[in-house]
Amino acid sequence: MKFQVDRDTFADAVSWTAKSLPARPSVPVLAGARLSVDEGKLTISGFDYEISTRVSVDVTGESAGTALVSGKLLAEIVKALPGKPVDFTVDGPHAELTCGSARFTLPTMPLEDYPSLPQMPEAIGTIETEDFARAVAQTAIAAGKDETLPTMTGVQIEMTGGGIGFLATDRYRMAIRDTDWEPGASDVDVTVLVPAKALADTARTFGSMSGPVTVSVPTGTDGSPGMVGFTAGGRQTTSRVLDGQLPPLRSLLATSYSTTLRVKTSELTEVARRVALVGDRNSPIRLSFDDDGLVVEAGGAEDAKASEAMDCTFTGEAGKIAFNPAYLLDGLSVVDAPVTAFKMNELGKPVVMTGESEPDAEESDTNYDGYLYMLQPLRWDA
């Protein structure tokens, strides 16, 4: 096998594949990147039984063949090469890579031990790359990281003929993003729970591409999806799906809210970051608001304290709320709007954060801009 390829194109393709390869594979060959050349195309793929990746690029001077080499090592080498065409040749147990005067020799891995990649299932719909990347970023932050509760580590994707929804929760907060997509059929009704990390990595890669993301989901013999696939910009990836589904998160939303606090998103983000400097991970950020405005404060060990006042508007009663600083800042970082609205009812009950375009936007209890982030407040005196 041999081929010549543009260095930047090769580096981008190998790097994307290598990112999904396991750092500590159960068997050595799963750390490999599979390179296959045929009819002027180089296909680079990886698979660890949970996530598969596949990307094709144009090459010249090719001789058909297939080889398996260490993916992460190849990515590091190609990244460091000068900006010249790369020649790649495989001869027996070694692969030789040449770029200008740089020359590397890599051992190949046994192809017979490498698992077959899963086939991309039939597409069930498409979503614009920008909408896909935004929806995943806004919801994946609320997914849990406790592997003893695997269901909570996923982002649930609900696909129907009327729209597509992304949901996640770690029991202390939850995020929901509803957006438009183009379903393959009007009666489509599929729900999959995808590992949040794998989905977030895919969304970050696809977010910079043009055109739509194609979503593919097969149906197993028991009627449940066994995996989910995404395709965009000549790249394909599949991921296993988690067992089960999230609790009915939408049922936790109130039909109306007695109090709504509105603040400028960027300003509150800056203020919250500043006052949080005096606290530790578990020290709450406190927000108290009345007719004089909003005061944001925090306290830490050895009597370290910080407070800062800022403008706000609100409807309903003046009040006080306290949040975990990391959770609050996570929510503010993905509210894609100039104004953040905090909607609440009883003291101590979950608070819903949504984005609004203007500080004096009309109150709307049942409609939102497609995204909401619900956060459990902390005790004020905690």
**Residues 320-353: tens digit of each pLDDT:** 999 999 999 999 999 989 999 999 998 889 999 9
Give me the phi and psi of 97, to 5 degrees please.
-120, 125
Judge whether 290 lies within some domain.
yes
Number of other residues whose CB lies within 10 A of the CB of residue 42: 22
CATH number for the domain including 32?
Answer: 3.10.150.10
Among 230, 250, 270, which residue terminates a domain?
A: 250
- pLDDT, tens digit (0-9, with 9 covering 90-100), for 237-279: 999 999 999 999 999 999 999 999 999 999 999 999 999 999 8
How many whole angstroms from its chain centre is CA 236?
16
Q: What beta strand segments (E) does 108-150 contain? A: 123-128
Decide if 382 is inside a domain. no
The per-residue pLDDT for range 278-291, each reduced to its tens digit, is 988 778 999 999 99
The pLDDT, as a whole number, for residue 31 is: 96
Mean pLDDT of 201-227: 82
Q: Which among 79, 113, 147 is the end of a domain? A: 113
Q: Which pLDDT belongs to residue 287? A: 96
How far is the CA of 217 from the CAs of 117, 206, 360, 381, in angstroms?
16, 18, 43, 48
**Span 177-198, pLDDT tens digits:** 999 999 998 899 999 999 999 9
Q: pLDDT over 90 for what percent of the chain?
A: 80
- Edge-to-edge strand order for the sheet containing 293-299? 305-310, 293-299, 285-290, 319-323
What pLDDT, on the 0 to 100 scale, is given for residue 367?
Answer: 45
Specify whether 155 is located in the same domain as 53: no
- pLDDT of 219: 65
> Is there a single domain that holds both residue 296 and residue 348?
yes
Average pLDDT score over the chain: 91
Model confidence at 53: pLDDT above 50: yes
The Cα 31–Cα 232 span in angstroms is 24
What confidence score (pLDDT) does residue 91 get? 87
Residue 118 lies in a domain: no
Task: With CA atoms as reference, report the closest residue to 230 among 251, 258, 253, 201.
Answer: 201
Do 175 and 138 sit in the same domain of this protein? yes
Q: What does the pLDDT read at residue 245? A: 94
Q: Count of domains in the chain?
A: 3
For residue 262, what are the domain limits?
A: 253-375
381, part of any domain: no
pLDDT of residue 366: 40
* Whether residues 108 and 127 fall in one domain: no
Residues 348 and 360 in one domain: yes
User: Is 343 domain-assigned?
Assistant: yes
| pLDDT tens digit sequence for 149-181 | 999 999 999 999 999 999 999 999 999 999 999
* Cβ 287 vs Cβ 321: under 8 Å: yes
- Per-residue pLDDT of 352-379, as tens digits, reads 999 998 655 555 444 456 899 999 999 8
Helices 325-334/265-275 angle, 10° precision? 160
What average pLDDT score do residues 124-128 get?
96
Instruction: Based on the fold, state whether residues 303 and 283 are members of the same structural domain.
Output: yes
> Do 181 and 127 lie in a common domain?
yes
Q: Which amino acid is at 101?
A: S
